[in-house]
């Protein structure tokens, strides 16, 4: 069995996460037991939710254990199998974590899934046709539930969730406005992803300025909002929401370092009779097949052209992850291992 390298979480951050919270360790891959498969990871996924799991505070998921491999999504290739449903050479998506190899009990439902790379690149199964894409699909379809002609807004629009949201919303006949950081990302959002407009939050760093930008981009108000950030951007959106608007609350990256995120005008939830619903996509596995089918079709047809930021080698994962939390990535953040 091959030698393995892993990234462990060795301490919990106080305030901002740092490289000192992680350690690269060597390990030995154990021999396979019946129904197990050995997967060599080609890419691992870096996602904002991982920052929340580094804390020990109460959250929707158990904290990442210390001195164990960092958990996260992976795609790769089966190199050895003792399960009748998998054979060497199969391309698979799973939750193998920040390491080069994983041993997976393939008899457990949902831990491993074979994927077809004929029309969809393998890496996209960690982004547009994976968890981020399904996240966008669920928030749009099940919470915002738009009608054709609705105006929808999403923060972190150039990322993996945002790009999928834009393609899905345009397919439903909506006006789609993104919020992203920097002129380059905003051009990508409008010119390549097909959003109707994009607001650069770096040019609008406070509630009043962002609210005015939203008024210009959304002259008919906002019917649905997909929230990834929180903070003053949510305050600004609330000032522009239409009555009976819907907010899908997916992430609050502005507060991942532990700082509280107060709302300036929570009474607007009542005044405008807004629906605000938080959700965790892993709790809705029943919709994944339907969502993945639509997302795969959008990628294969060229209607969804996701962008990727790729760090090279396992040792680069911690720094790439910290960069993701600062918005330095452009599109889905991945680490390439082969």
Q: Domains, the chain, ranges and CATH?
A: 3-127+306-336 (3.90.180.10), 131-282 (3.40.50.720)
What is the chain's Cα-based Rg? Answer: 20
Contacts of 330 (CB under 8 A, 6+ apart): 158, 184, 185, 188, 307, 309
The mean pLDDT value for 134-152 works out to: 98
* pLDDT on residue 255: 78
Chain-wide mean pLDDT for the chain? 95
Backbone angles phi, psi at 30, to 5 degrees: -75, 155
| Torsion sign (Cα): 281, 294, 118, 121 | negative
- Span 26-36, pLDDT tens digits: 999 999 999 99
Closest CA to 308 of 107, 142, 145, 164: 164
- Span 65-94, pLDDT tens digits: 999 999 999 999 999 999 999 999 999 999
- Span 282-327, pLDDT tens digits: 899 999 999 999 999 999 999 998 999 999 999 999 999 999 998 8
Q: Give residue for tokens 């021999």.
A: 31
Contacts of 297 (CB under 8 A, 6+ apart): none
pTM for this prediction: 0.91
Q: What is the 3-state secondary structure (H, E, C) of the chain?
A: CCEEEEEEECCCCCCCCCHHHEEEEEEECCCCCCCEEEEEEEEEECCCHHHHHHCCCCCCCCCCCCCEECCCCEEEEEEEECCCCCCCCCEEEECCCCECEEEEECCCCCCEEECCCCCCCHHHHHCCCCHHHHHHHHHHHHHHCCCCCCEEEEECCCCHHHHHHHHHHHHCCCEEEEEECCHHHHHHHHHHCCCCEEEECCCCCCHHHHHHHHHHHCCCCEEEEEECCCCHHHHHHHCCEEEEEEEEECCCHHHCCCCCCCCCCCHHHHHCCCEEEECCHHHCHHHHHHHHHHHHHHHHCCCCCCCEEEEECHHHHHHHHHHHHCCCCCCEEEEECC
Asked if the model's pLDDT at residue 57 lies above 90, the reply is: no
* pLDDT on residue 110: 86
List the structure tokens of 11: 């301490």
Contacts of 25 (CB under 8 A, 6+ apart): 5, 6, 7, 8
Q: Rounded distance, CA 107 to CA 125, Å?
A: 21
Asked if the model's pLDDT at residue 7 lies above 90, the reply is: yes
């Amino acid at each position: 069995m091959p030698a393995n390298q892993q990234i462990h979480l060795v301490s919990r951050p106080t305030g901002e996460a740092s490289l000192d919270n992680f350690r690269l360790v060597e390990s030995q891959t154990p021999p396979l037991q019946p129904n197990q498969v050995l997967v060599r990871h080609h890419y691992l996924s870096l996602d904002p939710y991982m920052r929340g799991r580094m804390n020990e505070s109460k959250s929707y998921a158990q904290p990442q254990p210390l001195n164990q491999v960092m958990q996260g999504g992976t795609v790769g290739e089966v190199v050895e199998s003792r399960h009748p449903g998998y054979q060497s050479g199969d391309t698979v998506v799973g939750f193998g974590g920040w390491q080069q190899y994983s041993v997976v009990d393939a008899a457990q439902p949902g831990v491993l899934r074979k994927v077809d790379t004929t029309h969809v690149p393998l890496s996209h199964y960690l982004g547009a046709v994976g968890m981020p894409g399904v996240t966008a699909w669920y928030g749009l379809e099940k919470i915002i539930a738009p009608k054709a002609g609705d105006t929808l807004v999403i923060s972190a629009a150039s990322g993996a969730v945002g790009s999928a949201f834009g393609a899905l919303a345009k397919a439903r006949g909506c006006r789609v406005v993104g919020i992203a950081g920097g002129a380059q990302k905003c051009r990508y959002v409008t010119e390549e992803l097909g959003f109707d407009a994009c607001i650069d939050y770096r040019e609008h760093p406070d509630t009043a300025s962002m609210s005015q930008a939203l008024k210009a981009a959304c002259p008919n108000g906002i019917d649905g909002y997909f929230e990834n950030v929180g903070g003053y951007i949510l305050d600004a959106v609330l000032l522009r929401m239409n009555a009976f608007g819907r907010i899908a609350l997916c992430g609050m990256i502005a507060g991942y370092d532990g700082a509280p995120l107060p709302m300036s005008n929570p009474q607007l939830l009542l005044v405008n009779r807004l629906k605000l619903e938080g959700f965790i996509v892993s709790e809705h596995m029943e919709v994944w097949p339907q969502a993945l089918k639509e997302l795969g079709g959008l990628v294969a047809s060229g209607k969804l052209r996701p962008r990727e930021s790729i760090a090279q080698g396992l040792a680069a994962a911690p720094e790439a992850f910290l960069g993701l939390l600062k918005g330095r990535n452009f599109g889905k953040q991945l680490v390439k291992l082969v």
